[in-house]
Amino acid sequence: MLKIMSSMILSLIITLTLMALCTIISKTMKADREKSSPFECGFDPKATARMPFSLQFFLIAVLFLIFDIEMVIILPMVVTLKISDSYKWMITVIMFMTVLLMGLYYEWKMGMLEWAY
């Protein structure tokens, strides 16, 4: 029991000491205009630091993620071909691919895949 209590006290002392040292060492400096401004090779920036975000790029990224996840779903279908019923497997694959192609056709007709400037 004495060993358990002494190891608990020792771990508490080490923890508190480390916390105190980190608090003393990590004193934050007073923020000034130079440190809070964006850095461009030592000169003041000529334009805003934030550029407007392209919504079209965001849509393409979302479409990529969707089709990437669909590929993760399609790949195990190839592996399960040998161990499953051919008829049910073919119906599942055809339905899945039909939904994918309908979604792609819809996105194409709505103009989501065209880059507009």
Nearest to 100 by CA among 58, 61, 72: 72
Q: Where are the domains of the chain?
A: 55-109
* Separation in Å, CA 109 to CA 63, 64, 67, 80, 96: 15, 17, 18, 34, 20
Task: Give pTM, 2 decimals.
Answer: 0.44
pLDDT tier, 47 (very low <50, low <70, confident <90, very high otherwise): low
pLDDT for the residue numbered 86: 85
Residues 21-38, mean pLDDT to the nearest whole number:
69
Q: What is the reported pLDDT for 22?
A: 85
Model confidence pLDDT, tens digit, residues 57-100: 777 788 788 878 888 888 888 888 888 888 988 898 899 889 88
Q: Compute how many other C-beta atoms are within 10 angstroms of the C-beta atom of residue 103.
A: 14
